[in-house]
A and B are shown apart, each in its own frame.
Chain A
């Protein structure tokens, strides 16, 4: 299957700092990528849909000024958590959709805000 990578796999930061997470589709081009957040023992919560070359579409309740998404190329999308606080600590997962409509997920990024 198609491969999606995320970097970093884990990050610890101080409260008030910003953190950038990268999501790359390694062997296919993805016009659309998605960013999810997952709390322990819960399902995936869609945060936003990222389309190459245009603004991201955020789900209701997700602060777009706090979670900045950039999809600058067909293989790269980034999520920046600005002014992170302990409540932003979570498991962030991206996915990329191929031309057949199938969605492949990255390995996730564990964010811990101290």
Chain B
């Protein structure tokens, strides 16, 4: 019940395209859903996060869509750029508990 399932494992997108990464969870007590971006040899960086009181949050080219009834959330990267090539992790937690991470998605954006 603590798992967060992430797909796909890897994703190849052409420059200018839309990258979509999906996550699903089971624990209905989760109330915080962040996405992290990690470059090789670096720590994860908080990209964008959402709480279940909204269905969508947008920051620049990055959008989280949240479906509470389906217990799913996704990251959309619009106008994908080669600099977006990285590994992306979704996560979930309650406000005071530890983060449960997805397995990661390796995104490659080709020019």
Contact = CB atoms under 8 A, between A and B. Distances in A.
A49 B34 CA distance: 19
B32 interface: yes
A103 B34 contact: yes
B46 A1 contact: yes
Interface stretch (A60-68, A71-79, A80-88, A106-114): A106-114
Interface residues of A, number: 22
B32 A43 contact: no
B46 A104 contact: yes
B43 interface: yes
Contacts of A95: 43
B98 A93 contact: no
Interface in A29-59: 34, 41-44, 46, 49
Main secondary structure of the interface of A (DSSP, over half): strand
Given A102-B34, A102-B49, A46 B44 contact: no
Contacts of B102: 43
B99 A93 contact: no
A111 to B, nearest CB: 13
Interface residues of B, number: 20
A105 B91 CA distance: 13
B89 interface: yes
A87 to B, nearest CB: 20
Contact of A43 (B34, B41, B95, B103): B103
Interface string B39-68: 001111110010000000000000000000
A42 B105 CA distance: 10
B88 to A, nearest CB: 11
Contact of A105 (B32, B36, B41, B103): B36
Interface of A: 1, 4, 6, 34, 41-44, 46, 49, 91, 93, 95, 101-108, 110
Given A43-B103, A95-B43, 7 more contacts: A34-B98, A43-B102, A46-B99, A49-B98, A91-B41, A104-B46, A105-B36
8 contacts: A1-B46, A6-B43, A34-B98, A43-B103, A44-B89, A49-B98, A102-B49, A105-B43
